[in-house]
């Protein structure tokens, strides 16, 4: 009888425990379902699932970050999770990454509907777009001073908290292969978040974030080498005169915390009188003529040589502003549910002007993460003059990495797609003919690069 009683007791405990598990799963599924996007206004039919909404990262100050997950077009349960971050600091991953670059949809000219991007990165991975930090896009803070004191450190910490909390809501992605990607000032965001996760994983007995590596493009990396490389690009691409080049090199101390009045005047002269009416984010393509309503006006004068603004300024940015300010679109995205007291914009000028802390160099972080065994790729569109290929090459050359595979041209469609060199712990890739937003200008080449990154494969040579 005693044995039977023990068996019965064990069975009861098992049933109760199973019921608790089922209840927890039901709550989790309910949370996910609340975030499910059934369809966006004007969206073509798709077979993959989408979710969007808010994740609180600071209860006390009321900071919440907005995300948009587009699951893989096939076999989503077996494919990795990739987080995409745009830079600025202060620019939206919904505006750029999702709507112009790697997302599944593009906004049409009238902002009345969406059409499919044939080279979307969710063909190969589940893509998670995050508007970060609070104050960018739909992400918000109930503490208004947060918009005036944002910086690198809090942005990285909030992004880590977001991921931990988001994976509690989406436990199917816990322990999934995870990568981080982005561009421009995300040259800070991406490695800084990778370092936060790396340290978090080391301090956690069973870490839930299975970070494998990151890929970042036209990345702000090191203030000194970036600035030297940028001025060199301007001069070698005939954008400025010999006299202005010499004057900038003479008057600008790129190692100083602040630029001198003489340096500012020299740079302003180059931008105002020598550049001409070109798009500095893509120097060989036509630019969208700015108008009074343009949200993407190029903010070079206040940001070059200190901070770089993420975001190409084609007219598609204007279409995105109209679309994402539509109430029906916001309802479909579960966005702006708290009534943010400002309209959605591609970039936040308030955050850009008031950025609080910014690392002078990411080189030490790269070295730490290379030693930690992460897969790291750095790519560069070669027609960008804001964070140009020369800037990236100067910075990388001072990491003193050992070459594994020497510089060679890589091919796609029988044409040179760019050039690449593989070092111990890092792969560098140029994308031929691409501007600041590489997947916007060269979507096929960008997708091939992304696939090879995920697969840990060399880019194809002609042979």
Which residue numbers are catalytic? Answer: 184, 384, 436
Decide: 286 and 301 in contact? Cβ < 8 Å: no
> Distance between CA 227 and CA 229 in Å, rounded?
5
> Distance between CA 450 and CA 181 in Å, rounded?
10
Summarize the chain as % helix, strand, coil (round to 5): 40, 20, 40
Decide: 263 and 251 in contact? Cβ < 8 Å: yes
> Distance between CA 221 and CA 210 in Å, rounded?
25
> Distance between CA 162 and CA 69 in Å, rounded?
13
End-to-end alpha carbon distance in the chain: 77
Distance of CA 85 to the CA centre of its chain: 2
Decide: 440 and 100 in contact? Cβ < 8 Å: yes
Indicate the helix (H) or strand (E) that contains 352: helix 349-353
Neighbours of 336 (CB within 10 A): 20
Tokens representing 298 are 């190029």
Closest CA to 312 of 19, 8, 100: 100
């Amino acid at each position: 009888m005693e044995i039977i009683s023990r068996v019965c007791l064990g069975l009861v405990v098992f049933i109760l425990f199973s019921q608790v598990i089922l209840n927890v799963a039901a709550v989790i599924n309910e949370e996910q379902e609340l975030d499910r996007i059934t369809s966006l206004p004007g969206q073509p039919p798709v077979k993959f699932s989408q979710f969007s909404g808010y994740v609180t990262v600071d209860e006390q100050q009321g900071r919440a970050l907005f995300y948009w997950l587009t699951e893989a077009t096939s076999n989503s349960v077996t494919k990795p999770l990739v987080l995409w971050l745009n830079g600025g600091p202060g620019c939206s991953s919904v505006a750029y990454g999702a709507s112009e670059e790697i997302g599944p949809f593009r906004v049409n000219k009238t902002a009345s509907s969406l059409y499919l991007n044939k080279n979307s990165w969710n063909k190969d991975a589940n893509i998670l777009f995050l508007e970060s930090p609070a104050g960018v896009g739909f992400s918000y803070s109930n503490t208004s001073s947060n918009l005036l004191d944002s910086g690198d450190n809090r942005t990285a910490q909030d992004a880590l908290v977001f991921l931990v909390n988001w994976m509690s809501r989406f436990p199917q992605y816990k322990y999934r292969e995870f990568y981080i990607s982005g561009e421009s000032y995300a040259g800070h965001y991406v490695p800084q978040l990778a370092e936060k996760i790396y340290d978090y994983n080391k301090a956690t007995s069973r870490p839930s974030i299975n970070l494998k590596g990151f890929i970042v493009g036209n990345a702000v990396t090191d203030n000194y080498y970036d600035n030297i490389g940028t001025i060199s690009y301007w001069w070698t691409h005939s954008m400025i005169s010999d006299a202005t080049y010499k004057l900038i090199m003479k008057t600008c101390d790129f190692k100083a915390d602040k630029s001198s009045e003489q340096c500012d005047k020299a740079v302003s002269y180059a931008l105002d009188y020598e550049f001409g009416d070109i798009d500095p984010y893509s120097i060989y393509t036509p630019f969208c003529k700015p108008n009074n309503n343009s949200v993407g006006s190029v903010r070079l004068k206040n940001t070059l040589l200190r901070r770089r603004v993420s975001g190409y300024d084609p007219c598609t940015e204007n279409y995105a502003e109209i679309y994402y300010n539509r109430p029906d679109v916001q309802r479909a995205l579960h966005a702006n549910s708290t009534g943010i007291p400002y309209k959605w914009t591609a970039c936040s000028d308030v955050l850009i002007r008031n950025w609080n802390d910014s690392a002078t160099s990411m080189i030490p972080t790269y070295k730490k993460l290379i030693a930690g065994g992460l897969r790291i790729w750095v790519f560069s569109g070669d027609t960008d003059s804001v964070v140009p290929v020369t800037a990236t090459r100067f910075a990388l050359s001072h990491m003193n990495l050992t070459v594994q595979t020497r510089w060679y041209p890589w091919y796609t469609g029988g044409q040179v797609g760019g050039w690449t060199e593989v070092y111990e712990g890092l792969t560098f890739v140029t994308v031929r003919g691409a501007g600041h937003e590489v997947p916007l200008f060269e979507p096929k080449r960008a997708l091939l690069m992304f696939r090879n990154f995920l697969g840990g494969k060399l880019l194809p040579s002609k042979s």
